[in-house]
Amino acid sequence: MSSTVSPMADVKVLETAADLSALREEWEELASRCPEHRLSQRYRWAAVAWRTVAAPRGRRLHILTLRSGGRLVGVWALVSHLDKGLRVVRQLGAESSEYTEPLVEPGPHQGEWFERLWKAVRPLGDLLFMPHVRSDSPLARLTGRFCLRCFVDNELNAPQILRAAYPDWEAYLATVTTSHRSNLRRKRRRLSDLGKVTFRREVTPVDPATIDAILAHKQAWIERRGYHNEWLAQREYRDFLCAMTSDPQAPGSLCLFLLCVDDTPVAFQIDAVDDRRIEGLIGCQDPAWGRYSTGELLLQDSLQWAFQHNRDIDFRIGDESYKSAWARLDCLTFNCLVGLSLRGMAVVWLRKIAKGLQTLRFRLGLGRLRHVLRRR
C-alpha cells in the first residue's frame, strides 16, 4: 500500500515496557500496511524478545516511533548495553540470526522516513551494531550513503527461492538435479519400509521439552562439524523459542514442522512464516534416524508446503551445501558497525584501518612470506 500522508514526520523515543505494550495495536496495523514485512519486524517478536532476552540481560529499551499526521508510519525497537565503557545499540530481538531492519510504511516517502529513524539513533549511544543487513534493503542503501561512519564485515549470502518464478511445485522440482531427486526418493522409500511417513505443521502449543531436544540435536550437529555458534546454547534464546511457539495460533508466532514415522517425530524444523515467505530458523533430525536423511526429507516437504501456500523461501544466512542444492538466488548480507559518537567513530576507523592493513599485507604477499620464514 502506498502512503498518502505528509513526508513530515515526528520521531519519538519510548523507553519503558509499558510503552512497548501500548504500541501493540498500532504496530500490528502498520505491519498490515507493509506487505513485505517479516515476522521479526512485528510486535510479538519484539515483545517476546524484550521479556525473554533483552530484559534478563539488563538491556536498556529504546523504541523509535515515527508518526506522520498522527499515524504511526515507522517503528524501530532498539536496546542498548555497555561494552568496555561504550554504549552499544542494536535492534531488539533474539540476538541470534534475524535481519536488522526497521518497519517503515512503503510509499514515496519511505526513504526519507528511514533516514529520520537512522539519524534519531545517534543520541542513544556510541555505536550502533546492525547484524545481518540485507543488501536489498533501504537500510543497506543508508550505510552506503554514510559509509564514513560505517564498518562493514562478515559478508554472507542468504540463499532463497522466489515462488513467482515457477508455475507450481513440479516445475520448480524439475530444476533440482536428477541425482538429488533420485537420492531423496530412495531414502523416502527406505524410511517408508519402517512405518507410515507423515509431514505436518504443529498447531498446538509446543512442549518446551521438544525445544530442548531440537536445540540439543542442533548443538551436537554443530560440534561434530567443528562449527561455532554464539547464541544457540544460551538460555535466553531457548526461552525465546519456547515463548514464540507456545501459541501457534497467535499472530506473529513461530511454527514447527515435523516429519514423523508412525507418529514418532524423526526430524524438526522451526520456521518463521509470514504472509509472504517462510524463513528457516533451526532444522535438525533425531540422530537415531540420521542414516535416512530425515532432515533433508523434512526440508523437501516444507518447501513443497511453501509452494502450495504461495510463499517465497528464505534459507537465511550461510552457504551450507544443503541450501545450494535447493536455492536458485542469493541475497548478500553483512554486519555493520556505525559510529554514533566521537568515541564510537574512533572504534569504527580503527577497525577500518586494521582491515585495510590486513588486506594490503596479503595483497603484497607478506602473509605467505611470514609463513615461509617461520618454516625456515
pLDDT in tens, the chain (376 residues): 334 445 567 999 999 999 999 999 999 999 999 999 999 999 999 999 999 999 999 999 999 999 999 999 999 999 999 999 999 999 999 999 899 999 999 999 999 999 999 999 999 999 999 999 999 999 999 998 888 999 999 999 999 999 999 999 999 999 999 999 999 999 999 999 999 999 999 988 999 999 999 999 999 888 887 777 888 889 999 999 999 999 888 888 899 999 999 989 999 999 999 989 999 999 999 999 989 999 999 999 999 999 999 999 999 998 888 898 999 999 999 999 999 999 999 999 999 999 888 888 877 775 554 554 455 5
The residue type at 73: V
What totals of helices (H) and strands (E) does the chain contain, helices first? 13, 13
Contact 28, 251 (CB under 8 A): yes
Is there a domain that residue 371 lies in?
no
Give the DSSP H/E element, type plus range, for residue 147.
none
Lookup: cell for 45? 517478536
**pTM (predicted TM-score):** 0.90
Strand pairing of 197-201 and 150-161? unpaired
Partners of 200 in beta bridges: 258
Separation of alpha carbons 239 and 243, rounded Å:
6
Is there a domain that residue 151 lies in?
yes
Range of the domain at 208: 161-331
The alpha carbon of residue 6 and the mean position of all alpha carbons in its chain are separated, in whole angstroms, by 32
The residue type at 172: Y
Residues 149 and 167 in one domain: no
Strand pairing of 277-285 and 264-273? antiparallel
Residues 234 and 323 in one domain: yes
Separation of alpha carbons 273 and 117, rounded Å:
27
Residues 19 and 117 in one domain: yes
Contact 70, 5 (CB under 8 A): no
Contact 292, 190 (CB under 8 A): yes
Contact 282, 270 (CB under 8 A): yes
Contact 330, 157 (CB under 8 A): yes
DSSP state of 247: -
Is there a domain that residue 375 lies in?
no
Residues 116 and 213 in one domain: no
